A and B are shown apart, each in its own frame.
Chain A
Amino acid sequence: MSEIPGDLKFMKSHEWARVEGDGKVTVGISDHAQGLLGDLVYVELPNVGDRVEAGTACAVVESVKAASDVYAPVSGTVVETNAALADKPETINEDAYGEGWLFTVEIEEAEQLNELLGPDDYAELLEDDDH
């Protein structure tokens, strides 16, 4: 299993969120999720300025095999999207926690972050999934 970065928060549905410290949160899908999906060939991102709501679908990642919704870990306004993914969606396969980020949200309620899983809890979830 790949290393899970210690500074991330996770959803059970395998999205990660990184608090950037200026009220912004960057969102991606976990390395485990990209592994399950296989080769990614298309990403449908929200538009800058869109409002996303915690727990609802706001992006789609498509592998050769399947299309999967990406859920917003927190509510807020999209301030940036990873435009490079349009031509190189496989970046998510190669670097899910880094260059493969999806979008950044200006967060509305910081408390929502407390409802997400810490790295250890997420690792535990993955282990349980394996059994």
Chain B
Amino acid sequence: MIQKTILNDTHRALGAKMVDFGGWDMPIHYGSQIEEHHQVRRDAGMFDVSHMTVVDLRGARVREFLRRLVANSVDKLKKPGKALYTCMLNPQGGVVDDLIVYYMSEDFFRLVVNAATRDKDLAWIAAQATAFDVEVVERPEFGMIAVQGPTARDRVIGLLREEDRGRVGKLTRFAAAEAKTETGVDLFVARTGYTGEDGFEVIVPEADAVAFWNALLEAGVKPAGLGARDTLRLEAGMNLYGQDMDDGVSPYEAALGWTVALDGDRDFVGRDVLEQQKASGAPRQMIGLVMDEKGVLRHGQKVLTPHGEGEILSGTFSPTLGKAIAFARVPAGEIAAGVEGGVRVDIRGREVPVRVVKFPFVRDGQPQDGVLA
């Protein structure tokens, strides 16, 4: 049966076009995906991301458990509230999921995992946790709203009670804090997001989620659908699980090498495979592409490079750039930037030249160097 978030009726009342999103009935847009995209880049927009799952880990050995579970090092988390983006790997070095780990206290860490991988993740985490006597508790009673854009933080802070405003305003990127609204609602406010803009992801008790959403609306934050979230995150150079990586792809093959910490002799799942890839090179690589011709790059299109064939992973029309952009996974090997890379994409039988660029494509609303050529 299709699942609904607590905000389902609210989305419908706002005129959302709803779609089946990995088993969840979610808004794809509220009229225009492109307008919602620009709204987030220029001002502030909000996304219902309540389909994502909060998982709380408790026990004396949680940190030790996470040292084993994830490829990034939780020892980077020194102050309560700090967050870490990481992949959790299988023994073959493939990505089970990408997630955020929040350090709450020494016996309490919080994970936020993807919606579509929820069951698989929970089973995997629970199986690994038994040896460490860690309690794994899913928290479906929370809603989650991402407020993103240059004015997003101010608008959220304006809804907090006086004494919490300063503290939440001072949160650094990838840090979180608990706070209350003026009406006394408990929030977990994290300065994270998935759009390349500043903003907060706010975890709110389900019972208060609709009122909080409506308060944000009144504060001038416009609703944005998962369609805009997808174009924003691709512009921001962020991976989407299931499209840009999965169980058969290592972090090195997904341009996520920066999230891998081969620190000391920490024995995390998949480490031996990653060490081997680090030493001799991963067989494939992920590259960023921009197409200057009209048209749209799409998932699954064939990509031709001097080193062999690959395929488009995420591909879309970038509203900020007015051009098609994409990630592609191609065989390993040096590829020059720009059209000199000799990379082409097969679009309905036509080989269209594309430029190889560094990503992110867009950061803080601005096209990055070399992206517009």
Contacts and interface: CB of A to CB of B under 8 A. Distances in A.
Do A and B come together as binding partners?
A: yes
Nearest to B32: A39
Contact of B33 (A42, A44, A65): A65
Interface in B258-278: none
Given A38-B28, A38-B33, A39-B32, A64 B316 contact: yes
A37 B231 CA distance: 15
Contacts of B317: 41-42, 62, 64
Specify which of B33, B296, B319 lies most central, judged by the most chain A CB atoms within 10 Å of its CB.
Answer: B296
A62 B348 CA distance: 13
Interface in A24-73: 38-39, 41-42, 44, 60, 62, 64-65, 67
B296 A39 contact: no
B29 A60 contact: no
A37 to B, nearest CB: 11
* Interface range for A: 10 to 19
A2 to B, nearest CB: 14
B295 A38 contact: no
A83 interface: no
Contacts of A65: 28, 33, 227
A62 B316 CA distance: 10
Interface string B106-123: 000000000000000000
Interface in B317-373: 317, 319, 348
Interface residues of B, number: 16
B330 to A, nearest CB: 22
A86 interface: yes
Contacts of B11: none
Contacts of A86: 294
Contacts of A42: 294-296, 317
B295 A64 contact: no
Given A38-B29, A38-B227, A44 B295 contact: yes
Contacts of B302: none
B34 interface: yes
A86 B28 CA distance: 26
A67 B299 CA distance: 11
Given A38-B29, A42-B294, A64-B317, 17 more contacts: A38-B17, A39-B32, A39-B33, A39-B34, A41-B34, A41-B296, A42-B295, A44-B295, A62-B295, A62-B296, A62-B317, A64-B34, A64-B231, A64-B296, A67-B296, A67-B298, A86-B294
